[in-house]
Amino acid sequence: MSEPHGSPGTTRPVPVLEKDAPDATAPGTGRRFWSARRVPAGIAAVLLLALVGLFLYDIAAVRAGRPGMRWRRALAGQLAERPLDDVWVLTGAAVAAALGLWLLLLALTPGLRSLLPMRRTHPDVRAALDRPAAEAMLRDRAMDVSGVQSARVRVRRRKADVRAVSHFRELDDVRADLDAVLGEAVTALGLARPPALSVRVRRPGRKG
């Protein structure tokens, strides 16, 4: 991913580009980018491979006339003797269910929340804007408004929260200017789904 670049003191949000199939989606739509999630998939694959390998080895040993693994016989005996409402049985079931739900959540959610899909002007190309870059751009625009001493911006998928501190001018006037300037800035980001703007302005806190 490219980092913002430009002249000193300026911030330029650099979009992330991805080549798509021609019929992936129509221009203008805002499909989210899906994470490959290689680490969870790799961990799950390694654990399943190790477990299957142990069972295959045990089955082959039993077929060859050797006794089964001691841990498997002990586990089978414990499962046969313990009731279903046993604490350890319930704990194991809860852990297995939690892991299963976690894997399902990873499989059904796109991830990559730091990327904001941009409007598509060509059906073969998808672009996304880095969330920190969008926040930095809006913060720079907010600081250009007269009377703004500091600004804090947080951009989500559906909402952009701006918290500004004004040390002079009427708060209503500063808020109106921020609404106008940041409204244009949000449009200029080129996002497929521009977030709703929420602006709050306050006076600096008293020192001491």
Give the integer Cα–Cα distance in Å for 127 and 17: 4
Q: What CA–CA distances, in Å, run from 44 to 37, 48, 82, 100, 106?
A: 11, 6, 28, 11, 12
Residue 168, classed as helix, strand or coil, is: coil
The pLDDT tens digits of the residues spanning 96-128 come to 899 888 888 877 777 777 888 888 878 878 788
d(CA 120, CA 169): 40
- Over pLDDT 70: what percentage of the chain? 83
pLDDT above 60 for 171: yes
Q: Which residue has the tokens 């959540």?
A: 105
DSSP track, 49-109: HHHHHHHHHHHHHHHTTPPPPHHHHHHHHHHHHS-TT-HHHHHHHHHHHHHHHHHHHHHHS
Confidence grade of residue 16 (pLDDT, cut at 50, 70, 90): low
pLDDT tier, 5 (very low <50, low <70, confident <90, very high otherwise): very low
| Residues 53-93: tens digit of each pLDDT | 988 888 888 888 888 788 777 877 877 888 878 888 889 88
Tell me how far apart the alpha carbons of residues 4 and 205 are, in angstroms, rounded to a whole number.
32
Cβ pair 120, 17 in contact under 8 A = no
Q: What's the pLDDT at 29?
A: 52
Tokens coding 197: 């703007």
pLDDT at 151 over 70: yes
Q: What is the pLDDT of residue 73?
A: 78
Longest Cα pair distance anywhere in the chain, in angstroms? Answer: 90
Better-scored residue on pLDDT, 7 or 115: 115
Kindly list the strands in the beta sheet with 115-117, ordered across the sheet, starting from the edge strand earlier in the chain: 15-19, 125-130, 115-117
